[in-house]
């Protein structure tokens, strides 16, 4: 009898149903990550829309060539047509941070100027030009090209003279021919070393630096540069030494050609004709 009762007892099967802990799974994390990524892309696009052309060009250049783009911040040109050196090259330019910024990022017009200058260097590849003679820097005003006197060889002007050497004249004519292809205006500057001229007080480094800048201008215009493309000719004497520790270093003697960007050119035009801050009485006397 007991045996029969045992057989009649029902068998209870307990089944555990899953799903109660679904909120502890990873599906929501994937959805949240997609949402955060979409929001980041949205705000990045909104940020780019509000930025200047310089910043846009910097971002574009970085994504096109993340490794090589940093080299465009600090430029030095090697003679004999070998192209552009990065900041680790043998140029005489001071070291700068390779991180692109709004002030250092090169707009397209700067890139065009660099390419034209490289073409000029290729055209001059037949000349025996030592390294360190050419130096390019990107500034807020534009592309600054420095033509630096050689330490062992006179490249442009003999000490105390404003007469170009034959080699210096060829170099400046070639540069003028290439820069004539740009619409940008130029500023040409002359710099001397700290040596006193043995000509009395009538002719000083002020006159010498200005005469050298004018000699460079004449050579460049004879190479094809339009005369109205030159905005200013400046002479700084020895007030902007390149080698400050040695005022007599020949590398302090140099010609600088500044290729103005459109913003700097427009600012110069506004300053030239803006008389709003001049008192009315003074304006009548002008």
| Residue 214 falls inside a structural domain | yes
| Residue 52 falls inside a structural domain | no
DSSP 183: -
| Residue 219 falls inside a structural domain | yes
Residue with tokens 């480094």: 205
| Residue 176 falls inside a structural domain | yes
Q: What is the pLDDT of residue 202?
A: 83
Q: Write out the H or E segment, with its range, that includes residue 187.
A: strand 186-191
258, with CB counted inside 10 A (0-12, 13-18, 19+), is buried
| Residue 250 falls inside a structural domain | yes
| Residue 256 falls inside a structural domain | yes
Query: What's the domain count of the chain?
Result: 1
Domain hosting residue 174, numbered range: 66-272
Question: Which CATH number is 204's domain given?
Answer: 3.30.1330.60
| Residue 286 falls inside a structural domain | no
Q: What is the pLDDT of residue 26?
A: 73
- pLDDT means per 10 residues, the chain with 286 residues, are 60 63 69 88 79 58 49 40 38 42 48 73 76 85 88 86 92 91 92 82 89 96 93 94 91 92 60 51 48
Q: What is the pLDDT of residue 209?
A: 94
Q: What is the pLDDT of residue 41?
A: 87
Q: Please state the separation of Cα 81 from the chain's center in Å.
A: 20
| Residue 234 falls inside a structural domain | yes
Residue ranges in the chain assigned as alpha helix (H): 2-8, 27-49, 53-64, 108-123, 166-179, 205-222, 262-273, 280-285
């Amino acid at each position: 009898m007991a045996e029969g009762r045992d057989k009649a007892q029902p068998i209870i099967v307990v089944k555990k149903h899953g799903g109660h802990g679904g909120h502890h799974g990873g599906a929501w994390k994937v959805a949240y990550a997609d949402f955060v990524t979409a929001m980041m892309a949205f705000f990045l696009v909104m940020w780019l829309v509000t930025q200047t052309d310089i910043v846009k060009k910097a971002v574009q250049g970085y994504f096109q060539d993340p490794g090589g783009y940093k080299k465009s911040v600090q430029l030095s040109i090697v003679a004999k047509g070998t192209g552009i050196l990065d900041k680790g090259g043998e140029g005489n330019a001071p070291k700068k941070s390779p991180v692109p910024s709004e002030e250092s990022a090169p707009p397209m017009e700067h890139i065009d100027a660099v390419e034209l200058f490289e073409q000029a260097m290729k055209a001059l590849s037949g000349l025996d030009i030592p390294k360190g003679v050419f130096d390019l820097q990107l500034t807020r005003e534009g592309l600054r090209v420095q033509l630096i006197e050689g330490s062992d060889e006179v490249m442009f002007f003999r000490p105390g003279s404003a007469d170009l050497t034959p080699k210096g004249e060829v170099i400046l004519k070639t540069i003028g021919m290439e820069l004539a292809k740009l619409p940008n205006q130029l500023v040409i500057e002359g710099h001397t070393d700290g040596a006193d001229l043995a000509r009395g007080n009538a002719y000083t480094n002020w006159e010498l630096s200005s005469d050298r800048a004018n000699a460079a201008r004449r050579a460049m215009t004879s190479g094809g540069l339009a005369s109205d493309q030159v905005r200013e000719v400046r002479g700084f004497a020895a007030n902007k030494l390149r080698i400050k520790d040695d005022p007599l270093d020949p590398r302090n003697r140099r010609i600088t050609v500044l290729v103005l960007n459109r913003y700097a050119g427009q600012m110069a035009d506004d300053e030239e004709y803006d008389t709003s801050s001049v008192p009315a009485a003074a304006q009548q006397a002008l």
